[in-house]
Amino acid sequence: MLCVMSEKPKIRDRRSPVATALGERVKACRIEADKSQEELAFEACLDRTRVSAIERGVANPTVETLATICYVLGITLSDLFEPLKLSLRPSSKHRGETSPQPRRRALR
């Protein structure tokens, strides 16, 4: 009796192009500042895995987190975002598959 191995379902890449571009920029600035991920994480009061996730475009950091990273790297938020020239077209993928429905109360 032959056992047929089914193919594993392919995992869809869920990284946002914005998060990926931002992560690449954070990494470039970190390298330019001659800091390791560990050094950046320690000085910014973050976990090293969080810095790694941001650089890979997996994490979606808050503006406050990005401002802290910029402070440690000796740059401003505008310096971080300046070379990024991209935008996203509005789509339901970013907000969920359906448009939000208003909440309605039952009438008395």
Asked if residue 81 is part of any domain, the answer here is yes
Asked if residue 36 is part of any domain, the answer here is yes
Identify whether the C-beta of residue 75 lies closer than 8 Å to the C-beta of residue 28. Answer: no
Asked if residue 9 is part of any domain, the answer here is no
Give the domain range for residue 59. Answer: 17-85
Query: Mean pLDDT across the stretch 79-104?
Result: 72
Query: What percentage of the chain has pLDDT greater than the value 70?
Result: 76
User: CA-to-CA distance for 38 and 30, rounded, in angstroms?
Assistant: 11
Asked if residue 3 is part of any domain, the answer here is no
Instruction: Report pLDDT for 9.
Output: 58
Instruction: Report pLDDT for 86.
Output: 77
Asked if residue 76 is part of any domain, the answer here is yes
Asked if residue 26 is part of any domain, the answer here is yes
Instruction: Please state the domain count of the chain.
Output: 1
The angle formed by the CA atoms of residues 79, 85 and 86, to the nearest 5 degrees, is: 125
- For 8-35, the pLDDT digits (tens) are 655 556 678 889 999 999 999 999 999 9
User: At residue 101, what are phi and psi to the nearest 5 degrees?
Assistant: -100, 140
Question: Up-side HSE of residue 89: CA atoms within 13 Å toward CB?
Answer: 1
Give the chain's mean pLDDT.
84
Choose the most confident range, by mean pLDDT, from 41-50, 84-93, 99-108: 41-50
Asked if residue 52 is part of any domain, the answer here is yes
The CATH number that applies at residue 41 is 1.10.260.40
Asked if residue 99 is part of any domain, the answer here is no
Instruction: Report pLDDT for 106.
Output: 76
